[in-house]
Structure 1
């Protein structure tokens, strides 16, 4: 049984009416309990989401935000209106399974330093595969590039229970993240300036710098469609990923690695731009260029955030940061599986 403490399962919806029949019933069915509430926070949808939710899903609590705040601010606005001990941030294109809540809540109850938890994330379309956004838990390399157990860059692995060991990770996916409500609010939640993409990695990095743990719990299993709002490869997604990665690095890098890492990232982004040009990927090149322009335009605000966050840091030593280049491993050494990396974890 779930220990005392309210669990609020919060789905941020934007024009997701067509997704409801395939995904929402599983969340309703497998989230029943006197301490559990399923909430859909509508982010200014222009389809018939509100009407459908009221008519077909009366078990769900509806929170009408009336405006599209984006993923990061949308969740901040919604969660600030919700009282609970634990928040579960769930994408509208996620199908959950039986007993997906209990193992994660038990981890919270057993260790007060656990701030966030991610379940195993498998593909909804191909259930035998891990899913891009989270897979078996998230990590970053020394230059800030994210990857997962079960997913290196765009290469996903089959789930053969090879990553069924729970343990510490660097980041938990925003597709399905369990997080302590008081910790989330004390940290000011997700960075609204990110709008969407990588805001969960930024949050987890900030929490880890304050001494908290981020955990992967494979006993909890979900299936994620992916690309529900923006398809993979969409220029808008490319723009947000490049810009937000720079935001995240600038805010959270330790001082002794700051200048060198930022300098090398600029070079690597230049390499990516050249690759886009040589591949005639004009839209992707333009998105990357705009990402850098936006980063420089907002540098003053990002610098203020970095200076404020410095005061909260208790540790910068994170074994969950891969000390080598994932790009080198993938493109040069052809390492396409997490198990092929020389990555020593606890």
Structure 2
């Protein structure tokens, strides 16, 4: 069994593999590097086989997105390569840096309660700024809206070393997720029905319910292009984000008697966001939000069964940020993580 497996999921990302895979291999510190290809049609498999003989190539039979793709790939590694103690799952559009692995590995080794961890995620294009997907560690507010140290909605902080510490967080980004392999498989991996987006938050939430911790490691840094497979302007991304948010919340929200009241507020706020899309002429995004809601309603029986099972397994309470970041950000003008935390502490 390897100590660490570096596993890159690829779908039609040959250009990213050409650009970033050499850096991953140069900084793999002797650990095996896998590329799991989700039935790409752009020649990715032949390209890796021809140019990167050191890579262990896994050819998946179909594209099941981030969630299903990684589930299949990591099961394959466990079955055919003897598994690993830890997995790290960098996106194909991640540029790693020298020494990126060691600080995270030391943090995981020192505390067996840490189930998953992430490095700092900075923007590849604007390298002094934190990147949207995870920044320096993620949180969830009481209405289920997600935000990060270093990134709140469309405000991106400059990296001034303010998040160079190691810090317990709520969720670690799937853009570069370190996770204990045994725990990943024990909880069933990612929820494949998510396909892509927010599956890592759902997974982290489930792990925290079992009493494990999620951390950010401020001594490790990577750079993320973002939108490599599905651009942020694509209405299908809007659909997945809204739908998966509702999936995740119904499954995981605490059994505090406020479930449907909070859902009603979310539906109202989703309606407000639809008006904002409509205002700028993005009617396809409005249709995507409507589709997302109907998909959620159609899947409620299955989600309810998942929720009941998770409540039976729960061993620890999982506190959310107790206020609304929508209110803090848009009404109170609190644009940074530190300003929002100060608000919470008053």
Rounded Cα–Cα distance in structure 1 between residues aligned with 2:9 and 2:263: 33
Say which SS state the counterpart of residue 303 (structure 1) adopts: helix
1:52 alignment counterpart: 47
| Structure 2 residue matching 1:342: 3-state secondary structure | helix
- Secondary structure of 1:86's counterpart equals strand
Aligned equivalents of 2:140, 2:154: Cα separation in 1: 14
Instruction: Note the 1:156-235 alignment, pairs <5 A.
Output: 156-235=156-235
- The separation in 2 between residues aligned to 1:212 and 1:340, in whole angstroms, is 28
- Alignment correspondent of 2:73: 78
Q: In the TM superposition, what is the alpha-carbon distance from 1:217 to its structure 2 partner?
A: 0.1
Cα offset, 1:91, TM superposition = 0.3
* Counterpart for residue 260 of structure 2: 259
User: Which range moved further: 44-53 or 335-344?
Assistant: 335-344
Structure 1 partner of 2:331: 332
Counterpart CA distance in 2 for 1:124 and 1:274 is 32
Over 3 Å counting, the alpha-carbon distance change for 1:209 and 1:325 in structure 2 is: same
The Cα RMSD (Å) is 1.3
Q: Quick one: distance in 2 between partners of 1:45 and 1:77?
A: 15
The unaligned stretches of length 5 or more in structure 2 are 78-82
Deviation at 1:317, TM superposition (A): 3.6
Find out whether 1:6 has 2:7 as its counterpart: no
Match of 2:93 in 1: 93
Greater shift in the superposed pair: 326-335 or 142-151: 326-335
Instruction: Go from structure 1 to structure 2 and tell me whether the alpha carbon gap of 1:196 and 1:317 turns closer, same or farther (over 3 Å shift).
Output: closer
How far is 1:259 from its partner? 2.5
Q: Distance in 2 between matches of 1:54 and 1:231?
A: 27
Aligned to 1:61, which of 47, 50, 56?
56
SS in 2 for 1:88: strand
Residue by residue over 1:148-205, the C-alpha shift from the partner in whole angstroms, topping out at 9 and shown as x without a partner, is 1110012211111111121100000000000000000001000000000000000000
Q: Map Cα deviations across residues 236-284 of structure 1 (whole Å, 9 max, x no partner).
A: 0100000000000000011104222222111211221222223332011
CA distance in 2, matches of 1:117, 1:212: 11
Cα pair 2:208 2:318 within 8 Å, conserved: no
Q: Return the TM-score normalized by structure 2.
A: 0.95
1:279 and 2:280 aligned: yes
After superposition, what is the alpha-carbon deviation per residue over 1:12-38, rounded to whole angstroms, capped at 9, x for unaligned?
0000111122211111000132xx110
Work out the number of aligned pairs and report it.
338
Query: What SS does structure 2 have at the residue aligned with 1:255?
Result: coil
